[in-house]
Structure formats: C-alpha cells, structure tokens
Chain A
C-alpha cells in the first residue's frame, strides 16, 4: 500500500538557519510528489510539486527515487515560514496520500 512518512512532528530552527523537512514514501511505481503547507488560520495549499522543479518561497525539493525520499529544504529560514507542512504522494489514477505533517517553528 502507498504510504508517506514524515519522521518529525515538530522542527524548530532559528531565523536564518537552514531547514530540511524529511519525507519518505512507499510506492512501487513512479508517482507525483507534492508539498502542501498550512499557515495559521489558512487553508491547506500547494507549496511545490516535483515535476515543476521550481523554487517556491525559497524552498526546493528533490525527488530521490533510489531512497524514495522527497525532502523539503530552504537555506535560510524566515519567521513567516512557520506552518504545518505535509508531504503528499499521488500514484497516477488513484487518490492523494498525505503524510502526518511536520510543524515548522522558526524562532526569532
């Protein structure tokens, strides 16, 4: 069965420090991977997807099929990055599978 794991429930870093939110998935095929973010009192929204290969708000994520990972990285965290981050897997033709989420807290 498809599964997404995010080992850290809470990650605290100081402003300006690098941040990496880990995501691993289990799926035998070639899925699409996404990161969704939920800021305080806002709805869940797309941050980035692996096929776009974009940097959004300074965040990047590389799909490593060998390690089945899709870690989210940012070199210099900002206070406004504090939010819940969810990694999601989309096996084509099926439903989206979300991880349990990591709460990122960026301290001043």
Chain B
C-alpha cells in the first residue's frame, strides 16, 4: 500500500480480555517498529522487527505482550489479559533496512495512524 496501515483504529475492550492489533507496513520495508503512546507522552518503544525476527523486544513491558511478523510483512501485536493501564495509542512504523552510516536514505520511520486501545 501507499502508507502504513493499522487496524483497528479504535478498540474498546474489558479488563482481562485478549486483543490483537494489526500493522501493514509499506511494501518493501524490512524494518517494523511498535511504539505505545500514552496521553501527554512521547512514543515509547516496544519492539522492533528486522524481517521476520524480533531484533529487539526489550521494550515489551511484560509477558502479556507479544508480537509476530511471520512472513516479514504484516505484524500483529497481541495483548493478553488486558489491564486498564494498557490503554494507549499503539503506533506502528516501518522503514527500509536500517544502516550504520550517515548519509543514507534509510533510517526514516513512516508511521501509521495508530490503534487507540481503551480498556474498561
């Protein structure tokens, strides 16, 4: 697609339920990032995929959070036993393969519109 697509745009659930959030990155972008943004705060890193594998999942807050990217394109963020504190906007972003050199056209994140999760 032309941009990063996230579904659903809004999700209201009850405490204790299971939730899946989907991200469809820009075609050809090998890197995919998940961030969480709470009200009045900046994006907080959750997990980063390079291809199919999670290159860095150090931002996942606990084992209730899990993300997959089985074919190296679409990714799903899964939250088990949701809690009220999980309420936030979940942002997905993609980029071409990150490089280690300045002057590259890579290393630029393109964001989706986000999925707003509300846990009652």
The total of chain B residues at the interface (CB under 8 A) is 27
Q: Let me know if A59 is at the binding interface, CB within 8 A.
A: no
Q: Let me know if B74 is at the binding interface, CB within 8 A.
A: no
Partner of B43, one of A9, A32, A34, A44: A44
Smallest distance from the beta carbon of B42 to chain A beta carbons, Å? 4
Contact indicator B112/A101 (Cβ below 8 Å): no
CA distance A32 to B99 in the complex (A): 11
Q: Let me know if A46 is at the binding interface, CB within 8 A.
A: yes
Residues of A contacting B119 in the complex (Cβ-Cβ under 8 angstroms) = none
CA distance A9 to B114 in the complex (A): 22
Smallest distance from the beta carbon of B8 to chain A beta carbons, Å? 15
CA distance A31 to B45 in the complex (A): 17
CA distance A36 to B91 in the complex (A): 14
Write the B72-92 contact mask toward A (1 if CB under 8 angstroms, else 0).
Answer: 000000000000000000010
Contact indicator B45/A97 (Cβ below 8 Å): yes
Contact indicator A51/B103 (Cβ below 8 Å): yes
Q: Which partner residue on chain A sits nearest B3 by CB separation?
A: A43
Give chain A's interface residue range (CB within 8 Å of chain B). 20 to 34
CA distance A6 to B40 in the complex (A): 13
Smallest distance from the beta carbon of A62 to chain B beta carbons, Å? 15
Q: Which partner residue on chain A sits nearest B111 by CB separation?
A: A44
- With A44-B111, A45-B111, A86-B43: A98-B35 Cβ-Cβ less than 8 Å: yes
CA distance A99 to B59 in the complex (A): 15
Partner of A96, one of B33, B100, B112: B33
A residues sitting closer than 8 Å to B (CB atoms) are: 4, 6, 9, 30, 32, 34, 36, 43-46, 49, 51, 86, 88, 90, 92-101
23 residue pairs A–B, Cβ–Cβ below 8 Å:
A4-B42, A32-B107, A34-B108, A43-B111, A43-B112, A44-B91, A44-B93, A44-B111, A45-B110, A46-B108, A46-B110, A49-B107, A86-B42, A86-B43, A88-B109, A92-B98, A92-B99, A92-B107, A93-B98, A96-B45, A96-B109, A98-B43, A100-B40
